[in-house]
Amino acid sequence: MPSGNDEDAVLPRRARHLVAAVPRHVEGGDGRVIAFGSTNRAGLAAVRELGTQLPNCEGVTRVDERTDDVAFEAQFSEMPLVSRLSALGGHVDQILLDGDDARLTAHFAPDVDVRQVRDAVRSVYPDAEVVAKRDVSRSNEFTGGVRATLTETLTDKQLEALRTAYYAGYFERPRDASGEEIAERLDVSNSTFSQHLRAAQTKILRNLFGEPPES
């Protein structure tokens, strides 16, 4: 997708040597998006420079640094492309920035017309092309049940808190991010974040194991 409109800037020329993968993102109810990605050590400075030039990007923060790559998160006030694909029931699986190209992988229900997807992408990036379409079978009933719980049982705020905590490394030991840090990213108090997270965990566990026995 080499070009776009005023809502979503493309890679500035000075950052086009950048190679970065953005495999995860969390959408808030107010349209805000937190994108989690990785790049190499040399690319981190270019990621940060890119963040200053994207109109909707509010900042890029290094999350973790390992031997081969650097994990980062970028906060956006909005991401029109993600919003348009979500409106079609789609889920963005990965955005790969590689040289002059940006390649996006997304998943949709079988009954979604690929032409609708193409038109949605081109409304933001007019020169974008559909490279491939693949049919993927998801037959795992357990995974399907968990996904149904996430999408049908949890509120938007609970799902946002759970996703952000997971992707930010809140459940790692030692933690990559504290509750206070995640609450700040979500623009809520620490107590509100804890309440949403605890409610989400309770609903998922209750779905898996049923109601706890009465004491």
Lowest-confidence pick of 5-14, 17-26, 68-77, 194-203: 5-14
Three-state secondary structure call for residue 173: coil
Helix axes 156-167, 179-186, angle to 10 degrees: 130
Q: Full-prediction pTM beyond 0.75?
A: no
Name the least confident of 23-27, 155-159, 185-189, 207-211.
Answer: 23-27
Kindly tell me if the per-residue pLDDT of 16 is higher than 60.
no
Phi, psi of 74 (to 5 degrees): -125, 130
CATH number of the 141-209 domain = 1.10.10.10
pLDDT given for residue 197 in this prediction: 94
DSSP sequence for 137-152: ----HHHHHHHHHHHH
**pLDDT tens sequence across 73-103:** 888 888 888 888 888 888 787 777 665 577 8
Q: Residue 138 — very low, low, confident or very high, per pLDDT cuts 50/70/90?
A: low
Are 185 and 75 in contact, with CB atoms under 8 Å apart? yes
**Which one is predicted more confidently, 22 or 23?**
22
Where does the chain hold its CATH 1.10.10.10 domain(s)?
141-209
- Containing H/E element for 186? helix 179-186
Q: What are phi and psi of 175, to 5 degrees?
A: -65, 140
**Residue 1's CB: how many other CB atoms inside 10 A?**
20
Query: Token pair for residue 97?
Result: 């920035």
Give the pLDDT score at 149: 58
Is 15's pLDDT higher than 70?
Answer: no
